[in-house]
Amino acid sequence: MAYPVPEITSRYSIRDYILTLDPVKDHQQICYLSSCYDFPWDFTRALEFALFRTFGVAKGTPLLQQTGEFIRRTRKRYDDTVLILGEILENGYDSPRGKAALRRMNQQHARYSIGNDEYLYTLSTFVLEPIRWMERFGWRPYTNHEKTAAFTYWLEMGKRMNIRDLPNTLEEMERFNVQFEREHFRYTPSNEAIATPTRDLLLSMYLPRWLWPVGKPFVYALIDEPLLRAVGFPNPPAWLRRVVEGGLRLKARIQRLWAPRKRPYLFTAARYPSYPGGYQIEQLGADRG
């Protein structure tokens, strides 16, 4: 889908244009502009940590461990997730490619017995973690238009995934998210078994293997204590948290001075190790080794 894009003359052109749109009616366009122009790096990091939060849910990780997808095929599972969500974000969930990606995602989920509350919790992290990340580390926070658009976008995604009991407001979704974590975050060996290879995959994107021991505490510094306990990771020293968070805030201040992005970052056009020769939507998922 070719979304209209304004003339980009300043760092805030996309934000200012978004503010002229209707956050409900134009929610797909707003999410596309925000994620692919203003926040591609931060949006990706936020969704990585959103997915990571699901590993603290003790009742859900035994199934994830049993499938082996997050342990034996961690990189492919990551690539498949990014590509499926990228297809939907870039093309629209009612476009031919968006429908095909949604169908493929629903086919994969249908193979397993997953509770509605677990689906709803995962959906809530995809709404809330980008909002929280931009508040802490984005070069600007999300506007209220972007927050409303993100909630509406994932609400529509939830309907197309047949998730029940969807919240009516962003505030209701946040209450559910916080209460769910309070009730279901607790340590189990399966949590740690799933979280460890994903942590190592994230480290591998930035560091050679021999530097992973140095990098691990920096990853832990971005994770809150309840989730660290739930996945069996150590709590880093307070000074390291301050250093890591300060570094990301410094990055954000510098980023405000950068020239604006005039072409979108397309997640589907990036290079993915699992698909060196390109991919078809029908390939995405757990079927191929």
Element (H, E) at 78: helix 74-91
What does the pLDDT average to over 231-245? 97
pLDDT tops 60 at residue 249 = yes
* Rounded average pLDDT over 218-242: 97
Q: Can you give the pLDDT at residue 120?
A: 97
pLDDT computed for residue 287 by the predictor: 58
pLDDT, position 289 = 42
pLDDT at 68: 67
d(CA 156, CA 174): 17
- Displacement of CA 176 from its chain's centroid (Å): 18
Q: Token digits for 214?
A: 């140095």
Average pLDDT over residues 126-139: 98
**How does residue 50 score in pLDDT terms, banded at 50, 70 and 90?**
very high
Residue 288 has pLDDT above 60, yes or no: no
Lowest mean pLDDT across 19-33, 70-84, 152-166: 70-84
Q: Report which DSSP code applies to 113.
A: -
Flag whether pLDDT at 186 surpasses 80.
Answer: yes
How far is Cα 228 from Cα 185, in angstroms, rounded to an integer? 10
Domain boundaries, the chain: 13-258
Q: What per-residue confidence (pLDDT) applies to 112?
A: 77
SS3 content of the chain, % helix, strand, coil (to 5): 65, 0, 35
Taking only the tens place, the pLDDT of each residue in 11-47 is 999 999 999 999 999 999 999 999 999 999 999 999 9
Residue 169 has pLDDT above 90, yes or no: yes
Task: Pick the closest to residue 83 from 67, 63, 104, 62 (CA basis).
Answer: 104
Integer Cα distance of 161 and 148 in angstroms:
20
SS3 43: helix
pLDDT bracket for residue 260 (50, 70, 90)? very high
On average, the pLDDT of the chain sits at 93
What is residue 114's predicted lDDT score, i.e. its pLDDT? 86
Lowest mean pLDDT across 55-59, 125-129, 171-175: 55-59
Higher pLDDT, 125 or 2: 125
Q: Residue 240: which pLDDT band, with cuts at 50, 70 and 90?
A: very high
Mean pLDDT of 172-198: 95
> 219 vs 71, which has greater pLDDT?
219
Cβ neighbours of residue 196 closer than 8 Å, sequence gap 6 or more: none
